[in-house]
Structure 1
Amino acid sequence: MPELFQSILLTLTALLSAVWIGAARRGYGEPDQPALFCALLAFSLSAGTGACAVARQGFGLDTLEAERWLLQATLLLGLPLVGVVALTLSRQWVWSRPTWGRVVIGLCAFFELARQLGWSSEYAFALGLTSAALVFYAGILQWPARLQAFAGAAGGMLMLALMPLTGMTIGPNPLAAYEQLSLALACPIIALLLLNLPGNLREENGAPV
C-alpha cells in the first residue's frame, strides 16, 4: 500500500478522533476531563505524525526528523496514555490532574532512564505490550457489551501490530511497512472504545486521588 495513502489516512482518522474526543469532553464531568485530555494528546500526536509524513511524501518538505520524533512520542507516550485512560475509565477510577501529570512525567522519565541504560528496545517492547493489554482488558471488562469488547480487542491487536521490535532478538516487525495504516485504523476504534466506557460521572465515586 502506498506510503502517502497511509499517511493521509492516518492524518484524517487521528484528527477526526481528536476532534471527536474534544467535542465529547463537554458532556463529561470534571473527574474525566484529565483522562480525556490525555487521550486527546495521544490522537494529536498521531495526527501530527501523519501530517509530517504527508508533507514529506506529498510535497517534498524536510519533515523526516519531526515525523520520527512524533512517531516515537506516539508510541512511547501517546499509546501508553491511551492504555491508562482506558483502564481508569473502565474501572471508574477517579484520578486528579496532578496524578495524570505524574503519569506523563513518569513515562518521560522511564524512557530517558531506559535510554541511558541501553534498554530502549526492551522498554519500548514492554510498554507497547502493556498498552495493548490495557486496551484489550478495558474492552473485555465490559462484556457482554459487544461494542466495547470488540473495540477493545481490535484496538489491542492493532496496537500490537505497531510494536517496535528494532534491536530485539525476535527480529523486525513483519508489519513495519503498515505501521501508519495500523495506527490509522487504531485511532477511531480506540476513540470509540473510550467514549463508550463507564467513566466517572457519578458523584459517589468520591474525590480524585
Structure 2
Amino acid sequence: MSVVLSSGLLALVGLACTFWLGGARQRYQEGDQPALFCALLGVLLPTAAAACSLASALFTHPDWQVAQLWLTQASDFLGWPLLGAVALTLSRGWVVSRPNWGRLLLGLCVFFELARQLDLLEPYQLLLTLLSALLLLYAGAVQLPQRRLPLLAASMGVGLWLLTGPLLERAAGLAWPSELRQVLLSLAYPLLVWLLLSLPGQSLQNPVKKPLKTV
C-alpha cells in the first residue's frame, strides 16, 4: 500500500473518530467535558500527523515532512498518555478539574523536554507506552464481570497499537513500514474511541451514578 493511501486512510479514520467523540460529548455531564476534550486532543494529533504525511507525499515539500515528524512525536509522547489518563478517569467515575488536566499536559511536556535534554527519549517512550497501555487495559478490565466488550475492545486496540510501537522493535527487532503502521493505527483508534465512550464516567446515559470524586 502506498503512503498516499495509508496516510489518507488514517486521516479519514481519525477525522471520523474526532466527530464521533465531539458528537458524544453532548450526552455527558460537565464533569466529564475536560476529559473528553483531552481525548479529542489525543485523537487529533495522529489525525493531523497523517494529514501532513499525505500532504508530504503529494506535494513533496520539506515543511510538511517536518510537521509530520513533530506531530507524530507529539502523538507518541502526549496523545497516548492522554488517552490512557482519560480511560482511567472515565472508568472510575472521577471528575478531574480543568486546571489539573492542564497540569497533566504541562507535566508531559516538561518530562518530554527533560528526557530529550538527558538523551533518554527512548526509555521514556517505552515507559509511557507501557503505562498508557496498562491504563487502557485496566479501564476495560474494571467493567468486568458485567460487561466484557470494553476489555475486548481495549485488548484489540492496545494490541494493534503496540504492534506499531517501540516495544515490538525492542522485543523482536521488528520495524514495520510506515504504511503498515498507519493501517494498524487506523484499526486501533476506532476501537479505543469506542472503549472511551463505553465507560461510565458521569454520563447522562448511565442511570446509576457513582459518587463524585473530584481531583
Q: TM-score, normalised by structure 2?
A: 0.89
Residue 163 of structure 2: aligned partner: 161
Question: Secondary structure of 2:198's match?
Answer: coil
**Which deviates more from structure 2 when the two are superposed, residues 27-36 or residues 141-150?**
141-150
Question: Secondary structure of 1:195's match?
Answer: helix
Residue 195 of structure 1: aligned partner: 197
* C-alpha contact (below 8 Å) 2:7/2:54 kept by paired residues: yes
Give the whole-Å Cα distance in 1 for the aligned partners of 2:131 and 2:3: 28
Question: Secondary structure of 1:23's match?
Answer: helix
> Is 1:100 equivalent to 2:101 in the alignment?
yes
* C-alpha contact (below 8 Å) 2:94/2:212 kept by paired residues: no
Q: 2:193 is matched by which residue type in structure 1?
A: A
Give the whole-Å Cα distance in 1 for the aligned partners of 2:101 and 2:141: 24
Q: 1:184 is matched by which residue type in structure 2?
A: S
Q: 2:53 is matched by which residue type in structure 1?
A: A
Q: TM-score, normalised by structure 1?
A: 0.91
**Which deviates more from structure 2 when the two are superposed, residues 97-106 or residues 128-137?**
128-137
Question: Secondary structure of 1:142's match?
Answer: coil
> Is 1:206 equivalent to 2:207 in the alignment?
no
Give the whole-Å Cα distance in 2 for the aligned partners of 1:203 and 1:189: 25
Q: Using the TM superposition, give the Cα deviation of residue 203 of structure 1 relative to its aligned residue in structure 2, in angstroms.
A: 6.8
**Which deviates more from structure 2 when the two are superposed, residues 199-208 or residues 46-55?**
199-208
> Is 1:69 equivalent to 2:50 in the alignment?
no
Give the whole-Å Cα distance in 1 for the aligned partners of 2:66 and 2:173: 21
* C-alpha contact (below 8 Å) 1:165/1:172 kept by paired residues: no
* C-alpha contact (below 8 Å) 1:162/1:176 kept by paired residues: no
Residue 184 of structure 2: aligned partner: 182
Report the identity percentage: 45
* C-alpha contact (below 8 Å) 2:160/2:188 kept by paired residues: yes
Q: 2:211 is matched by which residue type in structure 1?
A: N
Q: Using the TM superposition, give the Cα deviation of residue 142 of structure 1 relative to its aligned residue in structure 2, in angstroms.
A: 1.3
Q: Using the TM superposition, give the Cα deviation of residue 46 of structure 1 relative to its aligned residue in structure 2, in angstroms.
A: 1.2
What do the CA deviations read for 1:26-76 (whole angstroms, capped 9, x no partner)? 110011000000010111111101111111113334310000001001111
> Is 1:6 equivalent to 2:6 in the alignment?
yes
Q: 1:114 is matched by which residue type in structure 2?
A: A
Structure 1 pair 94–4 and aligned structure 2 pair: CA distance change class (3 A): same
Question: Secondary structure of 1:122's match?
Answer: helix
* C-alpha contact (below 8 Å) 1:129/1:160 kept by paired residues: no
Structure 1 pair 139–31 and aligned structure 2 pair: CA distance change class (3 A): same
Give the whole-Å Cα distance in 2 for the aligned partners of 1:153 and 1:31: 27
* C-alpha contact (below 8 Å) 1:136/1:155 kept by paired residues: no
What do the CA deviations read for 1:121-172 (whole angstroms, capped 9, x no partner)? 1001111121112111111221231221111111111221232369x86575
Root-mean-square deviation over aligned CA pairs: 2.0
Can you give the 5+ residue segments of structure 1 that lack an aligned partner in the other structure? none
Residue 35 of structure 1: aligned partner: 35
Q: Using the TM superposition, give the Cα deviation of residue 205 of structure 1 relative to its aligned residue in structure 2, in angstroms.
A: 2.7
Give the whole-Å Cα distance in 1 for the aligned partners of 2:46 and 2:19: 13
> Is 1:111 equivalent to 2:112 in the alignment?
yes
Q: 1:50 is matched by which residue type in structure 2?
A: A
